[in-house]
């Protein structure tokens, strides 16, 4: 089975039986794999902070409407495209490293199914379509969208110069909280900034767990990560990130809301903390399959936050 999958170009850590491997036309499969369309968790983790920002802003304004619906849909399509563009850029910059890591050597560029030039063209195409969607938002949100390219461009290089590349991933992946809030309200506010910090703390939590899959290979090739930095002390750090994320979520709600709306919204950090504690109870940093499963479960943690913030709109 492993040899058959390798011949077909399937990627080692893709979801088994995903739609790309089963249904996508063969000619575009390598490009969809570059975009991680066969691994949708990253799109969710990029999208959910957008929906947090939109829901909190809508609850604060006591309105959602057609504008909010379009922002939510635009963020969904934009998250898919920009996650694809970012992952493609990441694979271009990491093409020499990926060939040395067991989990990543089957990716399209190191396996020879896509050339770096083809990958670059694909990244540009995805970015341009995403930019077209961004242009339908208000001017402050457009400006924030353009600024988001800076952390996206830096992140792939972070593991070469810092033990904290997860911070740079958090800066990039949670930018949508700032953008969606601004798109809905017309200006950036402190609740969105605090929500952004909550997202960064969350990213430090889940991506440290994710990085434990590669600690041995990373040590051999000299790639840095919080998983390698924390080592046997990882649990203490993960608890710190959990607490920080929960407190920032609660503070963002306090700054934006009041009364019954606030009470409903405060269910979000509570259920968020419980989910992350559940992950901690199941975590075994030596079990790579367990680490991957727990990493993927953060989609549910983020959706629960979205659900309770959205419920606050209805109060």
**Token pair in block for residue 128:** 């341009």
User: Which of 22-36, 89-103, 219-233 is most confident?
Assistant: 219-233
Least Cα distance to 54 among 211, 177, 233 occurs for 177
Average predicted confidence (pLDDT) for the chain: 91
DSSP state, residue 188 = -
Reply yes or no on whether the pLDDT at 189 is more than 70.
yes
CB distance 49 to 30 below 8 Å = no
The pTM of this model reads 0.89
Look-up of token digits 């990085």: 211
pLDDT at 13: 66
Higher pLDDT, 236 or 220: 236
pLDDT by residue (tens digit) across 275-292?
999 999 999 999 999 999
Mean pLDDT of 193-216: 96
Give the whole-angstrom CA distance, residue 270 versus residue 297: 17
pLDDT at 105: 77
Who contacts 27 (Cβ-Cβ below 8 Å, separation ≥6)? none
pLDDT band at 39 (very low <50, low <70, confident <90, very high): confident
234-244 burial, b at 16+ Cβ within 10 Å, e below that, comes to: beebbeebbeb
**Domains in the chain and their CATH numbers?**
2-314 (1.10.357.140)
pLDDT band at 8 (very low <50, low <70, confident <90, very high): low
C-alpha distance from residue 192 to each of 56, 196, 248, 299 (Å) = 8, 6, 10, 20
Give the whole-angstrom CA distance, residue 191 versus residue 253: 7
CB distance 88 to 34 below 8 Å = yes
């Amino acid at each position: 089975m492993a040899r058959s999958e390798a011949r077909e170009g399937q990627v080692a850590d893709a979801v088994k039986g995903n739609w790309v491997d089963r249904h996508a036309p063969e000619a575009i499969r390598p490009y969809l794999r570059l975009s991680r369309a066969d691994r949708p968790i990253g799109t969710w983790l990029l999208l959910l902070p957008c929906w947090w920002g939109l829901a909190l802003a809508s609850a604060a304004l006591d309105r959602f409407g057609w504008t909010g619906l379009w922002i939510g849909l635009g963020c969904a399509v934009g998250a898919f495209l920009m996650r694809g563009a970012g992952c493609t850029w990441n694979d271009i910059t990491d093409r020499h490293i990926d060939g040395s890591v067991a989990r990543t050597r089957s990716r399209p560029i190191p396996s020879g199914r896509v050339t770096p030039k083809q990958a670059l063209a694909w990244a540009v195409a995805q970015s341009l379509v995403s930019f077209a969607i961004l242009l339908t938002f208000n001017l402050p949100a457009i400006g924030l969208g353009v600024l988001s390219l800076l952390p996206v461009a830096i992140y792939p290089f972070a593991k070469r110069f810092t033990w904290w590349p997860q911070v740079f991933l958090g800066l990039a992946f949670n930018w949508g909280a700032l953008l969606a809030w601004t798109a809905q309200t017309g200006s950036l506010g402190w609740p969105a900034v605090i929500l952004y910090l909550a997202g960064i703390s969350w990213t430090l939590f889940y991506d440290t767990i994710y990085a434990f899959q590669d600690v041995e290979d990373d040590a051999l090739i000299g790639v840095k990560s919080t998983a390698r930095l924390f080592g046997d002390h990882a649990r203490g750090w993960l608890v710190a990130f959990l607490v920080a994320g929960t407190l920032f979520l609660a503070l963002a709600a306090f700054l934006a809301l009041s009364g019954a709306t606030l009470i409903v919204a405060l269910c979000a950090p509570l259920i968020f903390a419980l989910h992350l504690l559940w992950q901690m109870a199941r975590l075994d940093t030596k079990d790579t399959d367990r680490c991957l499963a727990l990493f993927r479960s953060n989609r549910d943690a983020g959706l629960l936050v979205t659900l309770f913030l959205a419920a606050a709109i209805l109060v």
